[in-house]
Amino acid sequence: MNVIRVMTGNEACAEGALAAGLSFFAGYPITPSSEIAEELAELLPCAEGVFIQMEDELASIGAVIGASLTGAKAMTATSGPGFSLMQENIGYAIMAEVPCVIVNVMRGGPSTGLPTLPSQGDVMQARWGTHGDHQIIALAPYSVIEIFDLTIRAFNLAEKYRTPVILLLDEILAHVSEKVVLSDTAVRVIIDRIIPQEAPEAYLPYRYTQNLIPPMAPFGSGYRYHVTGLAHDETGFPTNDPVEIEKLLFRLQDKIIRNRDDIVQVEEFLLEDAEIGIISYGSSARSCRHAIRQLRAQGVRVGMLRLITIWPFANVKVEKWTKNIGKWYVVEMNMGQIAREVEAAAHGDATIFGIRQINGEPINPEFICQKIKDGLNV
């Protein structure tokens, strides 16, 4: 049975996580994400899960990785400054292949910046915040109900691909209240990590399986093995063998890249007959939707390619649509972090303009309409 509720984005995130099977949350207070922790502090013990407020964000992500290694579905939530502090251990979770979800409710930066105001300035931090060559999965919902659904999806992808998944919200989405219709729990798809079938003696924790994702034994289940952030071979122990190092790093890359089609989601909104395209994501895409309706009412045929998965980047879709439509606007609350990705994917086939705002105010639809109309007169 569907359930109708009114909730904020942060509440939807907490409830989505529980629906996905969350059993461990560790976090540190930070605006504008704190309500996720507050919600879970109340709900988790009643669901026989663990909530713990740690001493900082370094500790929060550490505890999340530790809990995940025991088999728990684990999550933390933070904002820009805290997200920066988590970067080293996000890399650890990538290297040691520990599933977990990191929610980053973006606020204005750099530094302490604008704690109570929205931004989309952490898109590149999500991609390259931790050191070394790596792949990352990042999702960007644009409504309260989509936060609920994509929080579940974030857990599913983390479990399926044994990797940290970053959920990028922003201050607007976190705090806006919307009516949501929650789907029947019976139809929700919940994915759990694959556990080994072989006997403990035969278990290779980082085995090169055909799908590139080794089954994961929870600590304390009889499989005694070693986990390290050092480069390691199939046994999980450190190695300096160049062949083994390359095998590992390419497997970590390929398990994401080869599954792009499964991971990357976009919404194609009124693109079929469009002469002008918009690429946007998160709360900015809400304004774009509104602007597109206004512009179409005035006879300007505009459509939108909305990025739901931010990383890995939707290269294939962007390539395809920039071949069909020659003029594009990338609308984002930063100085063009995704616009550069779009330019690279378009290979010069289309002209790319940015509509940007970084002053703590949301990009409103009128601003977008005006920019696009100004462009018509040029």
Partner 1 sequence: MFEYEKYIRKNKFPLVWCSGCGDGIVLKALLRAIDSIGLEKENVCMVSGIGCSSRLTGYVDCNTLHTTHGRAITFATGIKMAKPELNVIVITGDGDATAIGGNHYIHAARRNIDLTVIIFNNFIYGMTGGQVSPTTPVGMLASTAPFGNMENTFNISGLAQAAGASFVARGTVYHTVMLEKLIKKAILKNGFSVVEVLSPCPTAFGRRNKSGTIIDMMNEQKDNCVTSARAERMSERELEGKTVIGELVNIDRPECSKQYRKLIERCRSGL
Where does this chain bind partner 1 (CB under 8 A)? 23-24, 26, 45-46, 48, 50, 52, 54-56, 58-72, 74, 88-89, 92, 218-222, 224-230, 237-238
Report in angstroms how near the CB of residue 136 gets to partner 1 at its nearest: 18
194, 20 Cβ separation under 8 angstroms = no
139, 203 Cβ separation under 8 angstroms = no
Q: The tokens of 303 are what?
A: 């459509």
Report in angstroms how near the CB of residue 270 gets to partner 1 at its nearest: 46
Query: Based on CB atoms, which residue is closest to partner 1, 66 or 312?
Result: 66
Neighbouring CB atoms inside 10 A of 95's CB total 20
Looking from the CA of 240 toward its CB, the CA atoms found within 13 Å total: 0
Query: Based on CB atoms, which residue is closest to partner 1, 50 or 270?
Result: 50
Coil/strand/helix, residue 332: strand
Query: Based on CB atoms, which residue is closest to partner 1, 179 or 226?
Result: 226
Report in angstroms how near the CB of residue 53 gets to partner 1 at its nearest: 10
Residue 284's closest CA among 185, 81, 143? 143
Distance CA 296, CA 274 (A): 10
Report in angstroms how near the CB of residue 367 gets to partner 1 at its nearest: 43
319, 341 Cβ separation under 8 angstroms = no
> Among positive and negative, which fits the CA dihedral 156, 159, 160, 163?
positive
Report in angstroms how near the CB of residue 296 gets to partner 1 at its nearest: 50
Report in angstroms how near the CB of residue 17 gets to partner 1 at its nearest: 15
Report in angstroms how near the CB of residue 27 gets to partner 1 at its nearest: 12
Query: Based on CB atoms, which residue is closest to partner 1, 195 or 257?
Result: 195
286, 279 Cβ separation under 8 angstroms = no
Report in angstroms how near the CB of residue 314 gets to partner 1 at its nearest: 32
Distance CA 43, CA 48 (A): 9
Q: CA dihedral defined by 245, 247, 252, 258, rounded to 10 degrees?
A: 160
The H or E element containing residue 306 is strand 302-307
Tell me whether the omega of the peptide bond preceding residue 312 falls within 30 degrees of 0, making it cis. Answer: yes
Query: Based on CB atoms, which residue is closest to partner 1, 215 or 312?
Result: 215
Looking at residue 6, what DSSP letter applies?
E
- Give the relative orientation of helices 282-297 and 365-377 as an angle to the nearest 10 degrees: 50
